[in-house]
Amino acid sequence: MKKLYICVKPDGLDNLLEMALSGHSQLQVLLEKDTDSLINTINYIGTPDILIIDDENLRNTTTDEFESIHTKILVYEQKQFIEDWECLDKANWQQVTKRVLDDLGSENQPTDYSTIPFHLLKNINSPICDVYIEILKSGASHKIKLFNKNEEIDQPTVEKYLDKGIVHGFIETDNKEQFLNIISNQLYSKMMDSPSEEIVGKSLDTAITLLKEIGFNSTSTQLFDGVVENINKTLSQSKSKDLNLIKDLLESKSSRYYKLANLTSLLSMRVLQMSSWSSHIHQEILVYTALMANVTLDKEEMLFITDEETLAKSSLSEEDKSNIIHHAQSAYNLVQSDKDKPADADMFILEHHASKSGIGLNTALSSQNHKLTIVFRICEDFTIELLKLKEMNKHIKLDNIFKSLYEKHDKKILHQTIDLLRKCFSL
């Protein structure tokens, strides 16, 4: 891709040229307000392939500054000639545009870009296409190439831009499907070869991102299915290993989302295994619910809010609060396109906060709630309290957590489920 810098006074020509040339394939356009800005950009980003500058700005510097630029175009009000420069009448902006397109070698069509979640770059060594970020310059957005096709991605650079708040990168739309598919394939292979908590956790986080980005298809569901397979392998192990598994998971560098989903799955399964009424399909439903119930909560602090009093006291925006209130319903709507979900799993996702509509955060479970909803809600509440203490580096006293559960879910039939959960810890 060639770089074009435009440095003309803001009298309308600047906007005409930018609109005519921005977005063309193989052409990256930057608009500079004056020669100081132009020279700073050259020093920071690099020398352009093409420069358009007007006579007024050129008078503020020397042509020597731009000697290394391949194509130099001066737009003038009064006709003049400069050796090795293309000098064109400022009034004929179409001719200026044509000269740039001629330099590219073809009449290029505007490039169609698609966004990608920027954090996905942490999961690949080298991209199959160029990756861009968008910057604002002189009030207009411009795409700057950050990583080249097939070149190794510098992970410290990725972290730097994430710290700066970059959320999306950009790639050409034609490359998006293959780009996301390669990320999925690489992570899936890692997970199958070495299913550590960090790799499985990263796979779930990426699967959730892909589900939101492209819906349920082979690219997104292969990772999701791999996570389910690994969780099921864990559940097939001896119960005597559970405490070590929980400790390892708490100490891992996995995301809060993965820890919450995995621990809730594990504890729910153990409670089901001690219940005479449960079946294999119940286990499938609870694992799926644990992984998908909170899928539309896009900030980690949202995961620990399970009642409306805590929500009201939080510093979250009104939009985020509304997201929490409606997240069960939103997740229910999202999974409708998953043709392979366990039967009725969507209904348990909808009602996992004990609300039939999927709206609101009902604190009190009822004996009228389905047994699976009761098991899930109690196991997730326990896991949230466990994770809170771990993240705050506080001493974990299980008896205190169970005491709060008994108080929160103060009905005999609910206490029976809490009693089974206690047995998981030999209490």
Give the per-residue pLDDT at 401.
Answer: 94
Domain with CATH 3.40.50.10850 in the chain: 2-104
- Cβ-based burial of 201 (10 A; exposed 0-12, middle 13-18, buried ≥19): buried
Q: Which residues lie below 8 Å from residue 61, measured CB to CB, with a gap of 6+?
A: 35, 39
Per residue of the chain (427 residues), what is the pLDDT tens digit?
Answer: 788 999 998 877 887 787 777 756 678 888 888 999 899 888 888 889 999 999 999 999 988 889 999 999 999 988 888 988 999 998 888 888 888 888 876 545 556 788 999 999 998 889 999 999 988 766 777 788 899 999 999 999 999 999 999 999 999 988 998 999 999 999 999 999 988 888 999 999 999 999 888 888 888 899 999 999 988 888 777 677 778 888 888 898 899 999 999 999 999 999 999 998 988 899 999 999 999 999 999 899 999 998 888 999 999 999 999 999 999 999 999 999 898 999 999 999 999 998 888 898 876 788 788 999 999 999 999 999 999 999 998 888 999 999 999 999 989 989 999 999 999 887 5
- What is the location of CATH 1.10.3210.10 in the chain? 234-423
For residues 327 and 293, give the distance between their C-alpha atoms in angstroms, rounded to a whole number: 8
**CATH tag for 2-104 (out of 3.40.50.10850, 3.50.50.60, 3.30.2130.10, 1.10.3720.10):** 3.40.50.10850
Q: Provide the pLDDT for residue 343.
A: 92
What's the rounded Cα separation, in Å, for the pair 131 and 119?
12
Asked if residues 255 and 300 have their Cβ atoms less than 8 Å apart, the reply is: yes
Distance CA 138, CA 355 (A): 50
Looking at the domain that runs over 234-423, which CATH code has it been given? 1.10.3210.10
Q: What is the pLDDT of residue 107?
A: 47
Q: How many CB atoms lie within 10 A of CB 122?
A: 15
DSSP state letters, 292-313: HTTTT--SGGGGG--SHHHHHH
pTM to 2 decimal places: 0.70
Residue 92: other Cβ atoms inside 10 A: 11
Per-residue pLDDT at 359: 92
**What's the DSSP call for residue 24?**
B
Q: Which residues of 130-148 are buried (b: 16+ CB within 10 A; e: fewer)?
A: bbbbeeeeeeeebbeebbe
